[in-house]
Structure 1
Amino acid sequence: MSLPDVPFIKKQRTWIDKRGKEKQVPMRVFCPGLSRTSTSSMRVALWELGYEAYHGWSLWENPPDCVLWQEAMKAKFDGQGRLTVHRYTKICILVHRSATIERSATIDFFN
């Protein structure tokens, strides 16, 4: 499946398993928000400012992140898995990101 031709999705798909990776880029921008509230536009604006932002569309760009998010949800809500939800989101999934937008920014706050 090819990626949609829209300005807020990168044109190149990767297949990087981030499991076990350590955070390489410090988090600089934190933009919690709900879907459909201009978060895609915020992502484009952050790109223009030089930040690599994680957004819901990032799952299209790197599909193995879907598995990590499933494991993070199980850790958060079911207490399953070897890692805590904080480790999944802040270290494994967001390893190469300097900004986070939308639900990826809020997962630690939901009970």
Structure 2
Amino acid sequence: MDIYEDARTVSRADLAAWLRQVASQLETGQVFYGAAGTITVADQVYCELEIEQEGKDEYSIEIEFSWVNPTATPTAEAAAVEPATEATVQPAVEADKPTAETDDAEDEQPATVSPAA
């Protein structure tokens, strides 16, 4: 289930500023998205980094964070399963290709965290 998704082409400097903003929000434990949405981030977070060369001149970087809802009281059994709540920052650095037009556009994408307006 997608909570929020946003894709756009931005400058490298704007992307860096956005990632710094997301990092600051992660430190507080609340990530803001959309016009008024927030999601609480657990103290322990599973992280994935994927860097791909998708063509001769096309690259992508995917950063994914996932965790179990910190307000839930999971049992030891539930804590052992893969986290169910996801917030993903998925910047793509690609030559002459907007991020919204990837070959995987038909695949279901996890929620994307966007900076607060």
TM-score, scaled relative to structure 2: 0.29
Which structure carries more relative contact order (alpha carbon 8 Å, separation 6+)?
1
Report which of the two has the higher share of helix: 1
TM-score, scaled relative to structure 1: 0.30
